[in-house]
Structure 1
């Protein structure tokens, strides 16, 4: 074995150990939120439902569908590193499902219907990619796409929960903000950190063709968090509108896209001067807000009154 191979092997073991330690800490320090710690007291449940009902429904669905996401990962990654399996099956899934149950209960107590989550139907394309994952080099690409999706998802979640927390405080719903949204928000950054460390460790191990194909697939498959069809993309546009993420037009949306896509930009595209955010992130977000406006018979960005 060459000295470079020995050095690489040692570095991988250190990285795996660091990831494993991180996952263990997440499990120990952030167990699923106890249901008896939640205070569902609402001052104006009707107003809360009117302003944020569809936000709660979207978030609850996405969190609950983690159960299906784990089924997808078991197909997508036929032979994952043990640390990945430990993370998504033993730590991430229990935390996220609990988030979904709490949010779903909140919206029901606000007088809304329970969320309709898809917990078991796996798309055929993922089954096909899982079969291809047994070919040499392909599973690493699938793993990288999983990490990149996780990065964007967790960053989107933190931004959305920050906005929702602020919106609930504006409504005077302090109990909900303090015992529902704040604890959920507190658990998301640890997931982001895992994906970031895992992605950085894998990227330096990938060959040129793997990196090229990862970039190409990411551009073609990126979608806003929790959206698997046109209706859900439109629903996400409504979420951004309710959370005031798109009121400032393209400039504000581009800044939001920069925050969502910054980690993967720094990993995959930092060598391209002048590129601040992958354009596919911005285009995907813009499509969502445009579809949401179109469903209401409006246009986005809204036309400004003359003289404004």
Structure 2
């Protein structure tokens, strides 16, 4: 198969994939959701902060779309269709459902940042107006999407098991299960896109992607120190901190293969593992501060 033929084949696969996601996985019907909770206090105590974190991240997709419009001034049409017509509507619905659940448990609503576009993103957008650099920016977008969605797949699976273990079947089967069924399709889009674009990058572009990725990687939803500790708490509640390396390896396996295949023996890109360990440590340090004498 020639390079041009392969490229067209990959593009057709992406378009078909986005079509299927749009038609087969519309935003979750609110009438299908059962907010019945047997023991609100226990669910709130055990998983309330997890629901809040996930709701915030899902609702911040509105800001993510603004960032994408800034980063990618001239995206492929399939990318625009995916994030505007499929990903954003699905994720916002996830966030609204999770946020309604946590408020029904007596918790305050999530406080997402839906409109701040960082200076870093604006710089990437400016660079993206240079044709060959937009491919670098696109690759960073796909890699971030892969890590985000793979993290979501794993986290929602763990949350589903935990909520079901509490006997909260309505929540596990009509809220968490439908959400977790939609996340793998998002991951597949980013993986197909990343693999297709990686094969087209020049050596210098791949080198630049590696360097920018190493200095910009952060776990999903982490934009400041408090959120880093919050993510660490989520890891702890879901049991991820028991084997951070395995979790980091799972979310970054394709990234490792695309960017770091020349590094023989590398299980996890070091910046990925460092970011997750940093979150776990931040949560532990905050817990110690809160338990210090004189703190309530």
Matched, 1:135 2:130: yes
CA distance in 1 between partners of 2:166 and 2:210 (Å): 42
1:114-125 pair list within 5 angstroms: 114-125=109-120
Cα shift at 1:136 = 2.9
Task: Determine which of 201, 209, 215 is the counterpart of 2:210.
Answer: 215
1:157-306 pair list within 5 angstroms: 157-246=152-241, 248=242, 252-297=243-288
Task: Determine which of 16, 19, 33 is the counterpart of 1:21.
Answer: 16
CA distance in 1 between partners of 2:101 and 2:34 (Å): 9
Partner of 2:91: 96
CA distance in 2 between partners of 1:191 and 1:133 (Å): 23
Partner of 1:305: none
Partner of 2:293: none
CA distance in 1 between partners of 2:212 and 2:123 (Å): 15
1:189-239 CA distance string (max 9 Å, x none): 001111000000000100000000001111111001111111111100000
CA distance in 2 between partners of 1:14 and 1:260 (Å): 26
Task: Determine which of 82, 100, 103 is the counterpart of 1:105.
Answer: 100
Task: Determine which of 21, 41, 46 is the counterpart of 2:41.
Answer: 46
Cα shift at 1:168 = 0.5
CA distance in 2 between partners of 1:204 and 1:108 (Å): 46
Cα shift at 1:158 = 0.8
Cα shift at 1:14 = 1.7
CA distance in 2 between partners of 1:286 and 1:277 (Å): 12
CA distance in 1 between partners of 2:22 and 2:112 (Å): 25
CA distance in 1 between partners of 2:65 and 2:202 (Å): 27
Cα shift at 1:269 = 1.2
**SS in structure 2 of the partner of residue 115 of structure 1:** coil
CA distance in 1 between partners of 2:131 and 2:164 (Å): 52
Cα shift at 1:100 = 0.3
CA distance in 2 between partners of 1:119 and 1:27 (Å): 23
User: CA RMSD, aligned part only?
Assistant: 1.1
Partner of 1:33: 28
| TM-score, length of structure 2 as denominator length | 0.96
Q: Which runs of 5+ in 2 are unaligned?
A: 290-296
Partner of 1:72: 67
1:251-302 CA distance string (max 9 Å, x none): x11111111111101111122211111111111000001010000117xxxx
CA distance in 1 between partners of 2:203 and 2:254 (Å): 20
Cα shift at 1:8 = 2.7
CA distance in 2 between partners of 1:276 and 1:296 (Å): 30
Cα shift at 1:245 = 1.2
| TM-score, length of structure 1 as denominator length | 0.92
